Amino acid sequence: MPRIVLYQPDIPHNTGAILRFAACLGLGVDLIEPAGFDLSDRGMKRAGMDYLERAALSRHLSFAAFEEFRLAAGSRLVLLTTKAERSYLDFRYRPDDFLMFGRESAGVPDDVHALADHRLRIHMQPGLRSLNLAMTVAMVAGEALRQTGGPAADDTNDKDAGHDRA
Ligand SMILES: C[S@@+](CC[C@H](N)C(=O)[O-])C[C@H]1O[C@@H](n2cnc3c(N)ncnc32)[C@H](O)[C@@H]1O
């Protein structure tokens, strides 16, 4: 399944929500450091709740270290950026794609932008700057999963599951 890559995220509860999302759908997350917060941050834990224990999180000390990992896997780097022309809906995803999202304060540096194999955007209403990072991840990963076969496991028929829990 496609992986979610977070480039030096700034806001702990966004990362917590993304880790929860990824754990629920069985997606791996690659976090490129440094993050703008400590990974023991309370806000991140509150947003991720006990789902964090199930998150398949890989930490990379730098973008160069992440690139070594990605290139060894032979996978494409697909960058989500407000500066792209192409829509995220007008793209054929592959199961081994790395979907990279920039930091909340500044996106990604120009050299990382240039290095990506593909650059995609979610079109917005004129004059608006950007979407929330976690919502962008959910929209794009949702489309990538739809195209590549959906989440790994499905327990929606388990009527006795604890649906009342947040
Ligand atoms: C809050 S945005 C960062 C905005 C930042 N000021 C910039 O200029 O890139 C955080 C990340 O969410 C993703 N993002 C947010 N809105 C997006 C959109 N409309 N299309 C594509 N990616 C988006 C991008 O990966 C972006 O780097």
- Determine the 3-state secondary structure of 110 from DSSP: helix
Phi and psi at 8, nearest 5°, equal 45, 60
pLDDT (tens digit per residue) in 46-104 = 888 888 888 999 999 999 999 999 999 999 999 999 999 999 999 999 999 999 999 99
Distance from residue 130's CA to the centre of ligand 1 (Å) = 5
Contacts of 66 (CB under 8 A, 6+ apart): 5, 30, 32, 60
Residues with C-beta less than 6 Å from any ligand 1 atom: 80-82, 101-102, 104, 106-107, 121-122, 124, 130-131, 133, 136
Tell me which residue has its CA closest to atom 9 in ligand 1.
Answer: 107
CATH code for the structural domain at 3-148: 3.40.1280.10
Give the gyration radius of the chain's Cα atoms: 16
Distance from residue 137's CA to the centre of ligand 1 (Å) = 10
Extract the runs of DSSP E, i.e. beta strands, from the chain: 3-7, 28-32, 56-60, 77-80, 98-101, 118-120
Distance from residue 157's CA to the centre of ligand 1 (Å) = 35
Structural domain boundaries of the chain? 3-148
Question: Would you say 62 is a known binding-site residue?
Answer: no
Question: Would you say 122 is a known binding-site residue?
Answer: yes
The closest of 15, 21, 2, 4 to 132, measured between CA atoms, is: 15
pLDDT (tens digit per residue) in 117-166 = 999 999 999 999 999 999 999 999 999 999 998 776 665 555 544 445 55
130, 133, 137: residue to mutate for ligand 1 pocket, most atoms within 8 A of CB: 130
Reported pTM? 0.91
Q: How far is residue 137's CA from residue 5's CA, in Å, rounded to a whole number? A: 9
